[in-house]
Amino acid sequence: MISIVIAEDHQSLIDGIKVFLEYEEDITVVGEANDGKKLLDIVIKKKPDVVITDIRMPKMDGITATKLIKKELPDCHVIAFTMYDQDEAITQMQEAGASGYIMKNSPLKTVLSVVRRVVSGEKVFDTPIQPQKAENKSIPLSKREMEIVKLVGEGKTSQEIAELLFIEKSTVDTHRKNILKKLNLQGKSELLRFSMERKYDF
């Protein structure tokens, strides 16, 4: 029997995976978590064969959680389940000890296939990579602006960014305006989307 723990901050995705997997006689979901710290607690307690985890989660991200899981349970197979297909994110998960990498828009049959493949000893990192790495090198942002983009991608507000970087909120707002202008983005929503897509590239 293959035991699985699922970590994802959107409960609906967890529920969807569980409903799909419950029809497999050799698979059982033994735990679920909505943040990285809870994931680590459950994994240490349940000692599953496989962990399916998002990369971007509250309290502790999936990369850090994977490192700690592999330290405690070297034989546990960790699979990243994420919307990020940047090569830097994949590399970081590989270095953390993950065995596989699945995009969230993949069919659930793919999730099942990857679970079985990693348990059999395979490494599954055949996610298509967007050819954006060369472009990233030419993004006209200063080091401070790139720091702010990364924090925006982590869901931080201007006030939270100001406190983390020990600067005034007005300074953060000015940086955000400059970032919008440099990247030709229109408003907060476009900046947030860009930041979430690119935060692992900086």
- pLDDT tens digits, residue range 15-35? 888 888 888 999 999 999 999
CATH number at residue 179: 1.10.10.10
Residue reference for tokens 């993950």: 98
**Average pLDDT, stretch 80-94?**
78
Which of 88, 119, 150 is the C-terminal boundary of a domain? 119
Question: Do residues 15 and 60 both lie within one domain?
Answer: yes
> Which residue, 119, 151, 170, sits at the end of a domain?
119
Q: What angle do CA 102, 108, 111 make, to 5 degrees?
A: 40
Pick 102 or 52 by higher pLDDT. Answer: 52
Percent of the chain with pLDDT over 90: 44
pLDDT at 136: 44
Give pLDDT tens digits for 128-162: 443 334 344 456 888 899 889 888 877 889 999 99
| Residue 11 lies in domain | 2-119
Number of domains in the chain: 2
State the CATH number of the domain containing residue 34. 3.40.50.2300
52 has a pLDDT exceeding 90: yes
Angle value at C-alpha 128, between 150 and 58, nearest 5 degrees: 35
User: What string of DSSP letters covers 90-142?
Assistant: HHHHHHHT-SEEEETTS-HHHHHHHHHHHHTT--B--PPPPS-HHHHHT----
Q: Are residues 65 and 154 in the same domain?
A: no
